[in-house]
């Protein structure tokens, strides 16, 4: 455990991270493109690096919290010689492919790269209940693990640097889609005089009960068993069609449920009308090929 760390990138996330290290008694060096974002941290005891080189030279462990990997290149490429011997804990989001390229770029400059996918907002930083996916060389992860645990709980996914980003993107796919569906139901409720708080317990019941569906369907999906003994795609098409019509009749934008209806119809058109909705797992997968 180093008890000394550099944090580069002081958006809401980086500021929360640098703050968590200060709270844990670390010696924290900070750098940000817009220098004023460091002021509050410096007032709390952080050391301000005036250049990226200075920030990299200060500590072996360098936490990056940038918008994306393009921001990393913009910031670090001009200071590349200073990367040698550093451990870059890169908590900036991007696609698995760009992350793999970034890890190779860091290695080319003599730095070791650990990818992180943070699954908590800034308010969750500094708590073990928050969670972060990590991937990259296991020995690097293990050597830094105590430092990483200052930020959130850790979940090491494997050696491939892209893995943490992949798990993160899977979670984002689920999260944004589910959250948008909820917002759509609120708009539909509102158009019919039902307030968000009136609908809240029902939304919570449906979303909160999803784990039962996951438990029931996951083994069937893994076994390739999509029998329509519980529900069928033909029923889902009829049901979603009612949702689209209710939405239209209410003067609410139907694009989102219409896209879901379209996916159900594709399943039926592929010959799976009598199968369970879980058949879409295969239909989606083939669609990408
Ligand atoms: P922001 O985009 O608000 O800030 C990130 C930092 O990137 C800032 O310090 C900004 O500098 C810097 N930056 C952006 N572009 C450049 C550039 N071209 N050159 C130099 N510096 C640049 O992000 P957050 O702090 O909100 O989040 C950081 C990462 O964490 C992101 O990848 C995000 O996806 C991820 N994340 C965020 C969550 C959240 O709730 N905020 C939750 C989970 C993950 P400057 O201040 O000068 O603009």
Model pLDDT for residues 226-238, shown as the tens digit of each residue: 999 999 999 999 9
**Structure ipTM over 0.90, yes or no:** yes
Report the pLDDT value the prediction gives residue 287, as an integer from 0 to 100: 62
Atom of ligand 1 nearest to the CA of 68: 32
284 C-alpha to center of ligand 1: Å?
32
Could you read off the pLDDT of 164-217 as tens digits, one per residue? 999 999 999 999 999 999 999 999 999 999 999 999 999 999 999 999 999 999
Report the pLDDT value the prediction gives residue 289, as an integer from 0 to 100: 45
Atom of ligand 1 nearest to the CA of 14: 25
Q: Categorize the per-residue pLDDT at 104 as very low, low, confident or very high, splitting at 50, 70 and 90.
A: very high
Could you read off the pLDDT of 46-91 as tens digits, one per residue? 999 999 999 999 999 999 999 999 999 999 999 999 999 999 999 9
CB-ligand 1 contact for 171 (6 Å cutoff): no
Atom of ligand 1 nearest to the CA of 9: 9
What are the distances in angstroms from CA 275 to CA 83, 225, 232, 235?
Answer: 55, 9, 5, 10
Closest CA to 115 of 179, 168, 192, 74: 168
Q: Categorize the per-residue pLDDT at 11 as very low, low, confident or very high, splitting at 50, 70 and 90.
A: very high
265-276: average pLDDT: 97
Strands 61-64, 47-48: pairing kind = unpaired
Structure tokens given for 232? 């069928």
| SS3 of residue 132 by DSSP | strand
Closest C-alpha residue for ligand 1 atom 46: 34
Closest CA to 130 of 37, 46, 211, 17: 17
15 C-alpha to center of ligand 1: Å?
10
CB-ligand 1 contact for 32 (6 Å cutoff): yes
CB-ligand 1 contact for 92 (6 Å cutoff): yes
Q: What is the DSSP letter of 124?
A: G
Furthest-apart CA atoms within the chain: distance in Å: 65
Could you read off the pLDDT of 111-138 as tens digits, one per residue? 999 999 999 999 999 999 989 999 999 9
CB-ligand 1 contact for 72 (6 Å cutoff): no
Report the pLDDT value the prediction gives residue 22, as an integer from 0 to 100: 98
Closest C-alpha residue for ligand 1 atom 4: 11
Atom of ligand 1 nearest to the CA of 119: 43
List, in sequence order, the alpha helices (H) in the chain.
12-23, 39-43, 52-58, 69-76, 96-108, 138-149, 162-191, 196-208, 210-222, 233-249, 255-267, 280-287
The percent of residues in the chain predicted with pLDDT above 90, rounded, is 97
| SS3 of residue 94 by DSSP | coil
| SS3 of residue 114 by DSSP | strand
Report the pLDDT value the prediction gives residue 136, as an integer from 0 to 100: 98
Distance in angstroms (rounded) separating the CA atoms of residues 198 and 142: 48
Report the pLDDT value the prediction gives residue 1, as an integer from 0 to 100: 52
Closest C-alpha residue for ligand 1 atom 27: 13
261 C-alpha to center of ligand 1: Å?
36
Output the CA torsion sign for 141, 77, 120, 115.
negative
106 C-alpha to center of ligand 1: Å?
19
Q: Categorize the per-residue pLDDT at 41 as very low, low, confident or very high, splitting at 50, 70 and 90.
A: very high
Could you read off the pLDDT of 140-175 as tens digits, one per residue? 999 999 999 999 999 999 999 999 999 999 999 999
CB-ligand 1 contact for 2 (6 Å cutoff): no
109 pLDDT above the threshold of 80? yes
Structural domains in the chain plus CATH codes: 4-160 (3.40.50.720), 167-287 (1.10.1040.10)
272-287: average pLDDT: 92
Average pLDDT, the chain: 96
Closest CA to 49 of 92, 5, 90, 12: 5
Closest CA to 217 of 173, 266, 279: 279
Closest CA to 130 of 16, 8, 31: 16
110 C-alpha to center of ligand 1: Å?
25
Phi first, then psi, for residue 76 (nearest 5°) are -95, -25
């Amino acid at each position: 455990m180093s008890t000394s760390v550099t944090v580069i990138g002081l958006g809401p996330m980086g500021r929360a991270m640098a703050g968590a290290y200060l709270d844990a008694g670390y010696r924290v060096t900070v750098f940000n493109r817009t220098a004023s974002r460091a002021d509050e941290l410096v007032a709390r005891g952080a050391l301000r690096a005036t250049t990226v080189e200075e920030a990299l030279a200060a500590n072996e462990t360098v936490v990056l919290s940038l918008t994306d990997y393009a921001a990393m290149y913009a910031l670090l490429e001009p200071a590349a010689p200073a990367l040698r011997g550093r451990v870059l804990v890169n908590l900036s989001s991007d696609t698995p492919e760009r992350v793999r390229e970034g890890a190779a770029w860091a290695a080319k400059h003599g730095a070791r790269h650990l990818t992180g996918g943070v699954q908590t907002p800034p308010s969750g930083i500094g708590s073990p209940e928050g969670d972060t996916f990590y991937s990259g060389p296991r020995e690097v992860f293990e050597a830094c693990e105590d430092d990483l645990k200052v930020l959130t709980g850790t979940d090491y996914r494997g050696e491939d640097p892209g893995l943490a980003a992949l798990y993160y993107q899977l979670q984002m796919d689920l999260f944004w889609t589910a959250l948008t569906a909820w917002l759509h139901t609120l708009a539909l409720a509102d158009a019919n005089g039902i307030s968000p708080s009136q609908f809240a317990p029902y939304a919570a019941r449906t979303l909160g009960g999803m784990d039962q569906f996951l438990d029931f369907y996951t083994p069937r999906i893994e076994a390739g068993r999509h029998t329509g003994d519980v529900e069928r795609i033909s029923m889902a098409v009829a049901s979603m069609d009612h949702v689209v019509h209710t939405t239209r009749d209410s003067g609410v934008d139907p694009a989102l449920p219409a896209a879901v209806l379209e996916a159900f119809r594709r399943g039926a058109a592929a010959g799976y009308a009598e199968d369970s909705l879980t058949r879409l797992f295969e239909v989606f997968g083939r669609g990408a090929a």
